[in-house]
Amino acid sequence: MNMDDNKLTLEKITSDLTHHIRINKGFLIWMGFLTVSLLVCLYAYSIQLKTGLGVAGIRDYVTWGMYLANFVFFVAASLIGMLISAVLGLIGMKWLTPITRIAETIAVAFAAVAGLVIVSDMGRPERLAYVFLYGRPQSPILWDVTVITTYFVLSLLLLFLPLIADMAIIHRKADSLPSWLKPVYKVLSLNFTDNPAQNKIINRAIRILLILLIPAALSIHTVTSWLFAVTSRAGWDSTVFGPYFVSGAFVAGSAAVIIAMFFFRKNYKLQDYLTDLHFNNMGKVLATVSLVYLYFNFNEFLVPGYKLKRADAIHLQELFAGKDAILFWVVQIGGLILPILFMLFRRFRKPLPIMFISIAVLIAAWFKRYIIVVPTQEHPFLPIQHVPQNFIHYSPTLIETLISVAPFILVLIIITLISKFFPVIPLHETARERGIEHIKFD
Amino acid sequence: MEDNHTSHSPDESEDQKNSTRRNFLKNLGLAGVGVATGAAALYSGHIFEAKKEVSGDQKVLLTQDGKLVQVDSLEIKAMEKTGVALHEMEGREGIPGRRWVMVTDLSKCRNARKCISACQDAHQLRPEQYHMNTLQMQDTPGTAPYNMPKNCQHCDNPPCVAVCPVDATYKRQDGIVLIDNVRCIGCRFCMAACPYSARIFNWIEPKDAATHLDQEYNVELNVPQKVGTISKCLFSADRLREGKLPYCVEACPNGVYYFGDENEDAVTNGTTKETVRLSKLLRDNAGYQLMPELGTKPRVYFLPPKNRLFPFEAATETTPEKV
Ligand code: SF4
Ligand code: SF4
C-alpha cells in the first residue's frame, strides 16, 4: 500500500467514504428505474399466480427450468461473503479491508433474494408455511431452507457488526450528512465510543461469526447441489457435485465483487481506496477459483465420458455436439478457459479489463447453471412419447423470463440502498490501518 | 363411465354402514392399531356414567396416545369422522394386510390405449396428462420393438417420497404411493427424483375444474385435481377399497394386466378375470422389474414381450396439442 496514504486524517477519510451518502438525482433516477422494472416483473408474477406455473415453459419432463437455474445462481453468488471475509480474512490478507463490506453486501443481497427465487418456482406459493409446519427432515429441501436462513442471518450480522463503529464515527464527524439520517446512525451505533472493551467484544464476535460462516456457506451450496445429486439422473448423479458447485460459486461471486468494486470506485469516487492493487489481487483470486472450478469440470465430464454408460452417453452427446452444444462450449470456453488465460497477464487485471472479464464470467455462470439444470431433464431414462412438442424441448416464455429478472432487480435495489446509506468501505478499520490509533469522541 | 363409486355420499345404505362399523370394530379388536380416537373419550365417559346397561363383555382398546383401556362392548361406537378427514386418514393408512402388485404382460399389449382413457376419465386428466402411458420401446437396435404400458411403479424404496419436503407424497402399508394434493406445495422435487417419469403436474387449471368445484377431495382418487399440485398413478386405491380391480386393469381388452395381493400370492387378470399364482406367473414367464439396479424396488412386474401373435406397429395417433 502506498505509504503516503497513511497520512490522511480521520476527517479526510470520513468525508471520502461518506460523501456519497446523500440523496441526489442520479440515485433517484436509478431507483426509479429499478422500481418500475420491478413492477413490470411483479405484474408478470401476478399472472403466474392467477394462471399457474403453466405460464412458464416448464412442463412434465423439464419440470425445473429457469427458476431453478436462477435459484442455484443466487445461492452461488451469495457464497462470496464467506470466501472474502472468512477464508481470506482469517488467514490475514490485509489488502482485503476495503473489499469486505462489498462482499458482505453482495452475500446478504443474494442470500435474501435466493429465498424469494425459490418461491417463484412453487406451484402453490401460498403453502410455503407447510415447509415449516409439516417439514420432513429427510428432504434436502428442508436442509436447504435451514442452512440458507442460517447463512443469511450470519451474513447480516457480519455486515452489521463492523458498521457499528462506522456509525459512531459518521454521526459525529460526517458534516455532509443529511440531518434526518444522523439520529438513525446514532441509534445504529449502539453507543459505541471506541473504548478497548467495546472493541474487544466486537472483534471477538466478528471472529466467531467468520468461523461459523465457513461451515454455513459450504453447507448452503453443497445442499443446493444435492437437490440434483440425490437423484439418479444422468448428469446429476454425481459424487463431486458438492465441491463442483462450491468452487463454481466462488467464481460467480468473485466476478460479482469485481464488477461492484468497479462501479463503486467510479460512482463514489473511491480511487484512493480501491486501487489497481485491489483489482489486481481480486483478479488473482478469480483466476485461482476459476482454475479450481476447471479442475472439477474435468472430473465432472471426463469420468462419465470415459465410461459412456447409456444415459450418460446421451447426455454428454447432447452437451458436446447436440442441441446444447453451442451454449455449452461458449460457456465453458468463453466463461472459464479464456478468462483464466487472460487473467494470467497482469495487464488484464487492471480495473477496466478485469471488469469486462468479470461480466463475461458472471453471465457465463448463470448459463452454466442453466446447462446443469435443464438438459439432464430432456433425457430421462424412459422415452418421452405421446406428449405435445413443448413437453419435449424446454423453451422459456416471456413471462418466465420477466419473473426471473425480478430477483436481479431486487438484488440491485438492496445493494444500491446498502451502499448508498452506509460507507462502502469500512471506515473505522480503514482509519486504523492508516495509523489513526484511537478515535476521540467528544 | 359410471361415476358413482367415486363419490362417498352420505346416503349410503344402512347395510353398508353396518358393515363398515363391523369392520371397524374388527380392526380395532384384532390389530389394536392406534387409530381409535374415540376410545379415550369413551373410557372417561364410562367412569362417570355409572348407571348404564352393560353386556359384561369388556374389550381392550388402544387409545391414540398409546394407553390400553377397557371398554364395555356395548359402548363402543364407530368414530364419527366424515368427509375429507376420513379419506385423509384411511388414505394415509392403506388397506390393512394387503401388499398390492401389478403384473404387466408385454407380450399382449397392442397399444390399444384403452387403459389410458379409462384412467384419464377417472382422474379428470387432460389428454396429455398420463398416469398410465403406453410407450413404444426398443431396448437396443438389434432387438424387437414392443409396447410398454408404464405407470407409477409404486416403489418400495420410493425416491419421490424421500425427497418430498412436506409429506405430501407418501407410502402406505399396502404398498401404494399416494399424493395428498391438499398438502403438496408444488416444488416438483418428486418429479425430478422419479426415474420412471411417472409423475405429472397440473401446470394450469385442471380439466373442467369449474364443474368439480364443490366435489369433496378424495385422496385415493386424487380428484378433484388442483392446479399447482402433483398427480400420478394411484393403483386406483379407491377401487381397491371397494374390492374392485383398477380402472386400467379392467379396461384393457387384451389381457395385459394382472393385479392382486402379494401376501396372498395371487393376481387376477383384468380381462379374463382368471386368478393365478403370482410367484408362478413370474417364474414361468421370467418376470422382471423396470431398472431394478436403481434400488427403487418397484411393485410393478413386467413379463417379457415374447411370442407375440401380432406385428408391432409404430404409434400412429396424433400427439395431444400444445398446452
Ligand atoms: S415410480 Fe416414481 S412416482 Fe412411482 S413410487 Fe417410484 S419413484 Fe415414486
Ligand atoms: S411437488 Fe408436491 S408431492 Fe412432489 S415433492 Fe413437492 S410437495 Fe411433495
Please write the tens of the pLDDT for every residue from B24-43.
444 444 444 343 444 444 44
Q: Is there a domain that residue B310 lies in? A: no
Shared domain for B45 and B105, answered yes or no, is no
pLDDT value of residue B318: 58
CATH number at residue B182: 3.30.70.20
Shared domain for B34 and B111, answered yes or no, is no
Q: What is the mean pLDDT of residues B66-76?
A: 74
What is d(CA A93, CA B154) in angstroms, rounded to the nearest whole number?
A: 56
* Cα separation of the two ends of chain A: 31
Q: Find out whether B104 and B249 touch, Cβ atoms under 8 Å.
A: no
Nearest CB to B150; choose among A59, A122, A382: A382
Q: What is the mean pLDDT of residues B43-50?
A: 46
Least confident of A1-10, A41-50, A362-371, A415-424: A1-10
pLDDT value of residue B38: 43
**Which ligand is nearest to the Cα of residue A231, counting in written order?**
1
pLDDT value of residue B36: 40
Please write the tens of the pLDDT for every residue from A315-341.
999 999 999 999 999 999 999 999 999
Asked if B319's CB is within 8 angstroms of A142's CB, the reply is no
Mean pLDDT of chain A: 93
Range of the domain at B296: 100-303
To 5 degrees, how large is the angle CA B127–CA B128–CA B129?
A: 95
Which residue lies with its CA nearest to atom 4 of ligand 1?
Answer: B152
Task: Tell me the CA distances in angstroms from B205 to A216, A366, B321, one per residue in order.
Answer: 40, 31, 16
Under the banding of pLDDT at 50, 70 and 90, the label for residue B234 is very high
What is d(CA A15, CA A13) in angstroms, rounded to the nearest whole number?
A: 5
Spatial CA neighbour of B250 closest among B117, B127, B107: B117
Percentages (nearest 5) of helix, strand, coil residues in chain B: 30, 20, 55
pLDDT value of residue B31: 44
Beta bridge partners of B303: B105
Under the banding of pLDDT at 50, 70 and 90, the label for residue A87 is confident
For the Cβ of B151 lying below 6 angstroms from any atom of ligand 1, the answer is no
For the Cβ of B196 lying below 6 angstroms from any atom of ligand 1, the answer is yes
Shared domain for B261 and B154, answered yes or no, is yes
Percent pLDDT > 70 in chain A is 97
Could you tell me which chain B residue has the CA closest to the CA of A124? B185
Atom of ligand 2 nearest to the CA of B185: 7
Please write the tens of the pLDDT for every residue from A281-307.
999 999 999 999 999 999 999 999 999
pLDDT value at B78 more than 80: no
Q: What is the mean pLDDT of residues A356-364?
A: 98
Shared domain for B22 and B168, answered yes or no, is no
**Which ligand is nearest to the Cα of residue B199, counting in written order?**
1
Asked if B204's CB is within 8 angstroms of A51's CB, the reply is yes
Asked if the C-beta of A389 comes within 8 angstroms of chain B's C-beta atoms, the answer is yes
Nearest CB to A134; choose among B159, B183, B202: B183
Q: Which of residues 139-158 of A touch B (CB under 8 A)?
A: 139-142
CA of B188 relative to ligand 2 center, distance in Å = 5
Taking phi over 0 as left and psi of -120 to 50 as alpha, with beta for the rest, A202 belongs to alpha
Which of B24, B53, B82 is the C-terminal boundary of a domain?
B82
Which residue lies with its CA nearest to atom 2 of ligand 1?
Answer: B194
Under the banding of pLDDT at 50, 70 and 90, the label for residue A309 is very high
Pairing mode, if any, of strands B100-105 and B300-303?
A: parallel
Q: What is the mean pLDDT of residues A134-139?
A: 93
Chain A CB contacts of B321 below 8 Å: 388
Under the banding of pLDDT at 50, 70 and 90, the label for residue B82 is low
Q: What is the mean pLDDT of residues B292-314?
A: 90
pLDDT value at A179 more than 90: no
The dihedrals phi and psi of B273, each to the nearest 5 degrees, come to 60, 15
User: CB-based contacts of B260: which residues, under 8 Å, 6+ apart?
Assistant: B100, B101, B266, B267, B268, B275, B278
Shared domain for B238 and B290, answered yes or no, is yes
Shared domain for B72 and B116, answered yes or no, is no
Question: CB atoms < 10 A from the CB of A112, how many?
Answer: 19
Asked if the C-beta of A228 comes within 8 angstroms of chain B's C-beta atoms, the answer is yes
Shared domain for B160 and B41, answered yes or no, is no
pLDDT value of residue B85: 62
Q: Is there a domain that residue B180 lies in? A: yes
Asked if the C-beta of A230 comes within 8 angstroms of chain B's C-beta atoms, the answer is yes
Tell me A347's DSSP state: G
Answer with the residue of higher pLDDT: A294 or B52.
A294
Q: Find out whether A246 and A342 touch, Cβ atoms under 8 Å.
A: no
Could you tell me which chain B residue has the CA closest to the CA of A120? B187
What is d(CA B256, CA B302) in angstroms, rounded to the nearest whole number?
A: 10
What is d(CA B278, CA B276) in angstroms, rounded to the nearest whole number?
A: 6
Q: Is there a domain that residue B3 lies in? A: no
Shared domain for B173 and B224, answered yes or no, is yes
Asked if the C-beta of A116 comes within 8 angstroms of chain B's C-beta atoms, the answer is no
Q: Is there a domain that residue B323 lies in? A: no
Q: Which domains does chain A have, with CATH numbers?
A: 3-379+388-433 (1.20.1630.10)
**Which ligand is nearest to the Cα of residue B222, counting in written order?**
2
User: CB-based contacts of A47: which residues, under 8 Å, 6+ apart?
Assistant: A55, A399
Under the banding of pLDDT at 50, 70 and 90, the label for residue B84 is low
Asked if A386's CB is within 8 angstroms of B319's CB, the reply is yes
Atom of ligand 1 nearest to the CA of B160: 8
What is d(CA B246, CA B242) in angstroms, rounded to the nearest whole number?
A: 10
Percent pLDDT > 70 in chain B is 76
Q: Is there a domain that residue B238 lies in? A: yes
Chain B CB contacts of A231 below 8 Å: 159, 163, 192-193, 195
Shared domain for B219 and B259, answered yes or no, is yes
For the Cβ of B189 lying below 6 angstroms from any atom of ligand 2, the answer is yes
Task: Outline where A121-173 has alpha helix (H).
Answer: 130-133, 140-173
For the Cβ of B184 lying below 6 angstroms from any atom of ligand 2, the answer is yes
Q: Find out whether A94 and A434 touch, Cβ atoms under 8 Å.
A: no
Least confident of A83-92, A423-432, B111-120, B219-228: A83-92
What is d(CA A259, CA A359) in angstroms, rounded to the nearest whole number?
A: 7
Under the banding of pLDDT at 50, 70 and 90, the label for residue B58 is confident
Shared domain for B205 and B59, answered yes or no, is no
The dihedrals phi and psi of B320, each to the nearest 5 degrees, come to -60, 160
Q: Is there a domain that residue B6 lies in? A: no
Shared domain for B65 and B132, answered yes or no, is no
Mutate which: A232, A233, A372, vs B, most B CBs within 10 A: A232
What is d(CA A407, CA A411) in angstroms, rounded to the nearest whole number?
A: 6
For the Cβ of B252 lying below 6 angstroms from any atom of ligand 2, the answer is no
pLDDT value of residue B317: 55
Q: Is there a domain that residue B212 lies in? A: yes
pLDDT value at A65 more than 50: yes
Atom of ligand 2 nearest to the CA of B163: 5
Q: Is there a domain that residue B2 lies in? A: no
Nearest CB to B193; choose among A122, A231, A389: A231
Buried b (16+ CB within 10 A) or exposed e, B117-147: bbbbebbbbbbbbbbbbbbbbeeeeeeeebb
Q: Which of residues 61-80 of A touch B (CB under 8 A)?
A: 61, 63-64
pLDDT value of residue B43: 47
Least confident of A210-214, B98-102, B311-315: B311-315
Q: Find out whether A256 and A412 touch, Cβ atoms under 8 Å.
A: no
Mean pLDDT of chain B: 83
Asked if the C-beta of A232 comes within 8 angstroms of chain B's C-beta atoms, the answer is yes
Asked if B193's CB is within 8 angstroms of A52's CB, the reply is no
**Which ligand is nearest to the Cα of residue B151, counting in written order?**
1
Shared domain for B155 and B29, answered yes or no, is no
Please write the tens of the pLDDT for every residue from A184-237.
999 999 988 888 899 899 999 999 999 999 999 999 999 999 999 999 999 999
What is d(CA A343, CA A295) in angstroms, rounded to the nearest whole number?
A: 17
CA of B154 relative to ligand 1 center, distance in Å = 5
Least confident of A65-69, A379-383, B55-59: B55-59
User: CB-based contacts of B191: which residues, under 8 Å, 6+ apart?
Assistant: A60, A63, B160, B199, B201, B230
For the Cβ of B198 lying below 6 angstroms from any atom of ligand 1, the answer is yes
pLDDT value of residue B323: 73
Q: Give the minimum alpha-carbon distance from B189 to chain A in angstroms, rounded to a whole number.
A: 8
The x, y and z cell numbers of residue A380, run together, are 430421462
pLDDT value of residue B40: 44
pLDDT value at B309 more than 70: yes
What is d(CA B259, CA B102) in angstroms, rounded to the nearest whole number?
A: 5
Count up the domains in chain B and report the number. Answer: 2
